[in-house]
Amino acid sequence: LESASSLEEWEKPKFEATMQEAIRILSTALPPDPNLKKPEAGLLDTSHPFCYVREFEEKSEESSDAGGDESSHGGDTGTVDDEEMEQQLRMLDDVVAQAFASSTDLYRTLLLRATAQTLLENWDTITTVTSGDIDRAAVAKTAIQPQRSTVNAKDVQKLFDCYSNESSKEWVRSWWNLIDADKDGLIDEEELTTVVDFAIKPVHLALTDMVNMSLEVCPLRTVALGSNETNDWFLGGDNITDIHTSSEALNPSSSESKAIKKLSWRNRRRELKARKALTKTFAATLERHFRDQVEVPHRLRCIYAWADKSHQGNKLDSILVDASEEWGAASSIVGSKRFVELEPKILYEEFRKEQERHFPHLDHIGEEVAMSFKEDLWVSQGKGRQNRELRNQCVLFLLGVSLVDVVIGVL
């Protein structure tokens, strides 16, 4: 990809071979084996950065200042035990910080693989010419195929660069340039929807892989790292901090970095059931959030309608198209000419101006999914509590009715 020039064009065989090779290379660099679908329910792999993902949290400046003040005054009343505790916490923070940096790199790798997968699966959509462009070419007496035979290699390479180092804003722009075949910066409303869908899809695929990997390397039903609990069921009563703050943490070559506890059938069943419920909820979040909650199709229609488009003076353009070849012999009956109303195209800058006001969710796609997933989990937990209360109330009601029947029968 790095050797691709701006003039190089890839046909479908070359394009597919390159994407397949990219997926193969990126999959090889991803631990653990992505083909592992049913991991051990009691597996704890402290060498994998996703094992510490539940410890990642955003620190505010106020909490950092407060922590600094506490540490500066801790020497006055601190004891030896407090110093040892602070040392363990600092060690744990170092491990988590290292895991966070590794997780960031790993997530970017997942994004790149998901981008290659998206490109590989959507060749036809990327290269299809819109009906508006076909009608414009017919008026201009220019021959144009309904589908392009090549894509620009430099645009593909730029797309990978953006997902590797840039933000969501540049992701959309790179997809825009790839879809824009004539390089005039203008695309139709149909192509605009395609661009936004393609910008979101790699994030969905990468987050799905990230969730699956996290479940492979750390049990779901456990307390967070650094907890004071001493009876963690998946460790058989061992303290989780004794493993995670050791020198073996985040060392893939260490044989002690993986702990596999043989669970009872009850605990194993509970773990797998909780894992299945979590992945099902996450899949539902991916499917519904942008489509139903954010209402992406509706927002894109509004953005396109409200944008001040310079193309065609932001007006419909009525053109007369020769339909004799399209309709064949039927043209003698219905006529050989037809009027077509062409919608104006939109520039990226025009889209961006309206998108910042009416569709800010596109600037932080991953955060949107994570927040929606958290809300879905809250709803799921609330339904569970509600169902338990309803079940208890039903049991009490039936017991009361039965008791009344018994009393009536005795009397």
State the pLDDT at residue 274: 84
Q: Which of 48-62, 216-230, 262-276, 362-376 has the lowest mean pLDDT?
A: 216-230
- Whether pLDDT at 124 is above 90: yes
State the pLDDT at residue 246: 43
Element (H, E) at 333: helix 331-334
Q: What percent of the chain has pLDDT over 70?
A: 74
pLDDT tier for residue 4 given thresholds of 50, 70 and 90: low
State the pLDDT at residue 287: 93
pLDDT tier for residue 304 given thresholds of 50, 70 and 90: very high
In the Cβ-directed half-sphere of 391, how many Cα atoms lie within 13 Å? 6
State the chain's mean pLDDT as an integer. 79
Q: Which residues, in sequence order, are CB contacts of 49 under 8 Å at separation 6+?
A: 98, 99, 100, 102, 103, 106, 250
Instruction: Specify the pTM.
Output: 0.79
- Whether pLDDT at 51 is above 50: yes
User: Between 157 and 40, whose confidence is greater?
Assistant: 157
State the pLDDT at residue 226: 40
pLDDT tier for residue 347 given thresholds of 50, 70 and 90: very high
- Whether pLDDT at 66 is above 70: no
pLDDT tier for residue 33 given thresholds of 50, 70 and 90: low
Element (H, E) at 400: helix 365-410
CA pair distance 374, 370, nearest whole angstrom: 6
Site of tokens 């997926």: 23
User: Three-class SS of residue 346?
Assistant: strand
pLDDT tier for residue 236 given thresholds of 50, 70 and 90: very low
- Whether pLDDT at 199 is above 50: yes
State the pLDDT at residue 331: 47
- Whether pLDDT at 227 is above 60: no
CA pair distance 3, 160, nearest whole angstrom: 13
CA 146-147-150 angle, 5° bins:
150
Residues 129-138: what's their mean pLDDT? 83
State the pLDDT at residue 181: 84
- Whether pLDDT at 214 is above 90: no
User: Between 80 and 76, whose confidence is greater?
Assistant: 80
User: Three-class SS of residue 150?
Assistant: strand
Range of 33-42, 103-112, 333-342, 380-389 with top mean pLDDT: 103-112
Residues 93-114: what's their mean pLDDT? 88
End-to-end CA distance of the chain: 90
State the pLDDT at residue 218: 80
pLDDT tier for residue 188 given thresholds of 50, 70 and 90: very high
Q: Which residues, in sequence order, are CB contacts of 194 under 8 Å at separation 6+?
A: 125, 179
Smallest CA-to-CA distance from 124 within 205, 16, 5, 20 is with 16
- Whether pLDDT at 87 is above 90: no
